[in-house]
A and B are shown apart, each in its own frame.
Chain A
């Protein structure tokens, strides 16, 4: 059934470009928008591939929702162009754009039943009644809300409203589905469940998803690619794994997961061997670079980042390993699956964490002196 729908999307929406469908679903170039004195977006460039699950991630007020609204045609850029499926959207009003939105507040029409809410878009497009019914049934089944057809939105739970909002959008088989923090109002457990469902649904339908969220875990769990936004700009745009393991800036490193930061000066670097020596407050550290990069002059100030799970905690005995530093355990925090440990090395507080199943932390107590190993290939050099 799902295959049918996705096949239909291709056939109906792409009929004009059937011979050569563009690989980018959305292409934004030089988008700027300000509200009075506030700059909401500042020269944003973005290309979303067809069939991709793309997330815009950032704190509130970073401009991600404005960007989504501009794509939907609910707002207009002061500068820049929006292309959807290769077509310039400058003169195309919201109701004629091949996109649909799932709103943060769901925005279900309170005066219409669930069925009528879902049928709204099809009626606007004057889809024949019989075809409407089959399409609505299919979508309602897909998001598991068939028994709710004749309820009013006020009689639905948060999760049910979310599903109706989703059904109301995808029944129109848009080229791109825009989702504005669709899970923001739900409790954690339901959110996790719906995340998985959304992810599966996107795979089944093959529709391009442009997903706005401020929740890093959500973005990491679902997206093919993520753009991290800050103050109306895109800080970094990469595949999820890339973004997490190779953040380019302090902002990205700290926004996605937690990380330990360490200031230092460059002592030596060799472009060919892809490694560098950095002098830090905790001693000299060797850093492996996964790609050769000119790091700049000698003695240049650098910021290093290392994820807690990369830091290894070792007992004091034996001779110190490479990049090993001595520290004092300040705190051990047990949280079910893993244990977090805070270790003080001089003035620097380092956070480590490991799965409890690994048994790594079990041998340690608060106040114990330990060796921290900061593996050379786990250290990231940030650009700022």
Chain B
């Protein structure tokens, strides 16, 4: 038993190393003086100041944030409403419809990306709108965010004791008051979780953004991709380190939040 345990610990240690090797190497190299090659030439923070003075990186950061916020707000509202409707009300072929909702979750993102690219191109030919840019990116992001929000909120609604809303009615609340004073506060954690998931998905998305972006709507993942294609530069490592930092802080915060609730 003890021998097995040691073996397990050793194996797991190896796997953690494997998972974290790329993350660590990016962080380490962002402080490496060397511009080219993989040797260590000494500690520096100059790549961070280079980054700060890089207008492309700054505008990409801005685009990423605008895209994530705009799409998340829209998707959270639409997804929450969608979940409410699915949870409470009936319509013909509802099963099929709920099943279709999972399609955006399971299909590979490249399929979604090229389908949208094609669609926008056709619309552009027909009505002259839908030039590729932030707008088309927001539309695309909302499309894959809605199902995620709806699924998370729906599971929260599913776990809600119907007696709570009945109690509100019983105590004199109208259906509208019941929703805002009881239902909504109770599903708020689900809505927040769904929104957070949508936000993260948008921040992380490269493939859909790549195909539906236009000139001037470059996001951070697109910037990283094109830089990597040209050859990795240390300031890209600095940028990636910052993104990693945000992800780590975000993950830890969410984990702590969840634990605080328990």
A109-B182, A111-B186 given as contacts; is B170 within 8 A of A100 (CB)? yes
List of A residues within 8 angstroms of B164 by Cβ: 107, 109-110
- The answer to whether A124 touches B177, judged by C-beta atoms less than 8 angstroms apart, is yes
Q: Please determine whether B167 and A109 come into contact, CB atoms closer than 8 angstroms.
A: yes
Q: Is A168 an interface residue (CB 8 A)?
A: yes
State how many angstroms separate the Cβ of B253 from the closest Cβ of chain A.
21
Least CB distance from B65 to A in Å reads 31
Bound CA span A105–B185, Å? 19
Assuming the contacts A121-B171, A124-B171, asked whether A107 and B186 have C-beta atoms less than 8 A apart, the reply is no
Interchain CB contact under 8 A, B172 and A103: no
The distance in angstroms between the C-alpha atoms of A105 and B161, with both chains bound, is 9
- Tell whether, in the assembled complex, residue B167 and residue A103 are in contact, meaning their CB atoms are under 8 Å apart: yes
Name the contact of B169 in the complex, choosing from A74, A105, A111, A168 (C-beta under 8 A). A74
A120 in the interface (beta carbon within 8 A): yes
Give Cα distance in the complex from A124 to B177, angstroms.
8
Using an 8 Å CB-CB cutoff, how does the interface string of B167-201 with A read, 1 for contact, 0 for none? 11111111001000110011000000000000000
Q: Is A172 an interface residue (CB 8 A)?
A: yes
Known contacts: A105-B161, A109-B182, A110-B186. The answer to whether A74 contacts B166 by CB under 8 A is yes
Minimal beta-carbon separation of A165 from chain B (angstroms): 9
Instruction: Please give me the residue from chain A that is nearest to B174 by CB atom.
Output: A95
Shortest CB-to-CB span from A71 to chain B, Å, is 11
User: Does A94 sit at the interface, judged by CB under 8 A?
Assistant: yes
How would residues 96 to 127 of chain A score, 1 for a CB under 8 Å from any chain B CB and 0 otherwise? Answer: 10011101110111110000000011001100
B172's closest neighbor in chain A, by CB?
A124
B163 at the binding interface (Cβ < 8 Å): yes
Query: Given the complex, which residues of A lie within 8 Å of B174, measured CB to CB?
Result: 95
In the complex, the chain A residue whose C-beta lies closest to that of B178 is A95
Interface size, B (range): 10 to 19
Chain B residues within an 8 Å CB radius of A121: 171-172
* Chain A, Cβ-Cβ closest to B188: A111
Q: Is A380 an interface residue (CB 8 A)?
A: no
How many A-B residue pairs lie within 8 Å, measured between CB atoms? Answer: 59
A99 to B164, CA, bound (A): 17
Q: Which A residues lie within 8 Å of B169 (CB)?
A: 73-74, 93-95
**Cα distance, A248 to B151, chains bound together (Å):** 55
Contact for B170 among A94, A109, A110, A111, CB less than 8 A: A94
Interface centre among A72, A73, A101, A168 (most CB of B within 10 A): A101
Which A residues are in CB contact (< 8 Å) with B173? 95, 120, 124
A207 to chain B, nearest CB (A): 15
* Contact A101 B186, beta carbon cutoff 8 Å: no
Q: Which of B166, B172, B185 contacts A111 (CB 8 A)?
A: B185
- Closest Cβ–Cβ distance, residue B59 to chain A (whole Å): 42
Contact of A172 among B161, B172, B181 (CB under 8 A): B172
Question: What residue of chain A has the Cβ atom nearest to residue B185's Cβ?
Answer: A111
A168 touches B163 (CB 8 A): no
Minimal Cβ-Cβ distance residue in B for A178: B170
**Chain A: which residue is nearest B169 at the CB level?**
A94
B166 and A103: CB pair below 8 A? yes
Residue of A nearest to B164 (CB): A107
26 contacts between A and B (CB under 8 A): A74-B166, A74-B169, A74-B170, A95-B173, A95-B174, A99-B170, A100-B170, A101-B166, A101-B170, A103-B163, A103-B167, A107-B161, A107-B163, A107-B164, A107-B166, A108-B167, A109-B164, A109-B167, A109-B168, A109-B186, A110-B186, A120-B168, A120-B181, A124-B171, A124-B173, A172-B172
Q: Which 9 residue pairs are nearest across A and B when measured between Cβ atoms?
A: A124-B172, A121-B171, A107-B163, A107-B167, A94-B169, A111-B185, A101-B170, A95-B172, A103-B163
Give the interface of B toward A (CB within 8 A).
161, 163-164, 166-174, 177, 181-182, 185-186
16 additional contacts (CB under 8 A) given A95-B173, A103-B163: A72-B170, A74-B166, A94-B170, A95-B170, A100-B170, A101-B167, A103-B166, A103-B167, A104-B163, A107-B161, A111-B186, A120-B171, A121-B172, A124-B177, A125-B172, A172-B171
